[in-house]
Amino acid sequence: MSVKKKPLVVVTRKLPDSIETRMRELFDARLNLDDVPMSADQLAEAARTADVLVPTVTDTITSAMLNQPDCTLRLIAHFGNGIDNLDVAAAHARGITVTNTPKVLTEDTADMTMALILAVPRRLIEGAALLTDGGEWPGWSPTWMLGRRLGGKRLGIIGMGRIGQAVARRARAFGLQIHYHNRKPVAPRIADELGATYWDSLDQMLARMDIISVNCPHTPATFHLLSARRLKLIRKDAFIVNTARGEVIDEETLTRLIETGDIAGAGLDVYEHEPVVNPKLVRLAKAGKVVLLPHMGSATIEGRVEMGEKVIINIRTFLDNHKPPDRVLPAML
C-alpha cells in the first residue's frame, strides 16, 4: 500500500515554536531554524520545488521565480499582512493561489502607531535616553523638556482600513480630532463612531493636520503618495508617523524637511530602503527630532502565533480543495 506523500511546505524564516511543531506534524515542512534570510537563488529554488511557499515580508518573490518552467508551486501562504513584496499578478497568471494574514495584527500595529503618536510630540525617547545614556538631568524645571499636547489636535489618517480605524479609536480616547483620507469614505456608522471627518483631497488634509499617520498599504498607486510636493504642504509644527511601509513617503525629502525645520518631527517604524536606515535620520533621532523603530509594529508573541495559525489554516483549507479564508484576490491589488 502506498503512503500518501505529505506536501512540501518551505518556510523562509524561523516561526514561533508552536507553529513549527504543528507544521512538522501536518506537512513535509522545510523550516529555517537558523533564521538566516534566504538568498534570491534559494527562494527561486524553493518556488520551483515546493508545493507551498511560506515567505514573509522581507522576501521578494518575483515573476521570474514563479515563471520557471518546472515550477511546482501551488500556494504562496504569506506570513504577513502587506503583500507588496510578492508579485501576486504573476502568481495568479500562473494559477498559484496567494493568501496573507490580515486582521490578527491590526490591534498590535495600531498600538504601536499610537505609541509613536505619543512618543514624538511628548519627547518620550529623548527624555528616557537622557537618564540612561549618561546625560545631565538638572532637575525639574517649568520650562524644560516641553513637548506638545495631544488633546484637541487634528490627526490626519491616510488609509482608513482596519488599522487606520483602530488607530482612530485609540486616538479619539486621547482627545485627538479624527480626520482621514481614503479612496472612499468609510460607512456612516463607522464615521459616526469615530467622529471622523473625510477629506477627498489629500493635499487639503495635509495642509491642516497637526499629526499625520500613514496607514495605507504600499501599492503602485501609493508609492511616494507623500511626494516632495505633498510633504511641502505639511505644516511646520506637524509630526508624521509611519507604521505602514517606507515606500509611501519620499523619505529623502521628509528627512530634509525635518532637518530644515519645515516639518517638526516624525515617528517611523518602516523605511524606504529597509533594513537600511538613512544615517541622516539616525542623526535626527539623536537630536530628538524623530523616533525610529526597527519595523516592529506587529511584533507581539500573540500576534506572531496568530499569524502562524492563519498560515496553517490557509494551507490546510487549500490542500483540502477548499477556498482558503485569506485569499488575496485580484480586486485587492
Closest distance to ligand GLV from the beta carbon of 82 (Å): 3
3-state secondary structure of 73: coil
Q: Judging by DSSP bridges, how do beta strands 97-99 and 154-158 pair with one another?
A: unpaired
CB nearer ligand GLV, residue 105 or residue 291: 105
Q: Which of residues 218-237 bind ligand GLV (CB under 6 A)?
A: none
Asked whether the beta carbons of 130 and 188 are under 8 A apart, the reply is no
Selected binder of ligand GLV within 15, 55, 82, 290 (CB under 6 A): 82
- Cα separation, 25 vs 101, in Å, equals 21
Of 80-88, 170-178, 219-227, 313-321, the segment contacting ligand GLV by CB under 6 A is 80-88
Of 79-87, 175-183, 204-212, 325-333, the segment contacting ligand GLV by CB under 6 A is 79-87
Distance of CA 145 to the CA centre of its chain: 31
Closest distance to ligand GLV from the beta carbon of 313 (Å): 16
Under rule CB under 6 A, how many of the chain's residues touch ligand GLV? 6
- Amino acid letter for position 45: E
Chain residue whose CB lies nearest ligand GLV: 82
Of 77-85, 144-152, 201-209, 317-325, the segment contacting ligand GLV by CB under 6 A is 77-85
Closest distance to ligand GLV from the beta carbon of 183 (Å): 19
- Cα separation, 277 vs 319, in Å, equals 40
CA triple 212-331-245, angle to 5 deg: 30
Contact map string, positions 95 to 124, toward ligand GLV, x by CB under 6 A: ----------x-------------------
3-state secondary structure of 86: strand
Residues marked active site are found at 245, 274, 295
DSSP code for 322 = S
Q: Which of residues 16-75 bind ligand GLV (CB under 6 A)?
A: 57
Of 76-84, 143-151, 161-169, 279-287, the segment contacting ligand GLV by CB under 6 A is 76-84
Contacts of 317 (CB under 8 A, 6+ apart): 323, 324, 325
CB nearer ligand GLV, residue 53 or residue 178: 53
DSSP code for 164 = H
Write 42-49 long-range contacts (CB < 8 A, 24+): 43/12, 44/68, 46/10, 46/12, 47/71, 47/73, 48/72, 48/73, 49/8, 49/10
Contacts of 276 (CB under 8 A, 6+ apart): none
Determine, following the binding rule CB under 6 A, whether residue 80 of this chain makes contact with ligand GLV: yes
Selected binder of ligand GLV within 47, 61, 73, 81 (CB under 6 A): 81
| Contact footprint for ligand GLV (CB under 6 A) | 57, 80-82, 105, 298
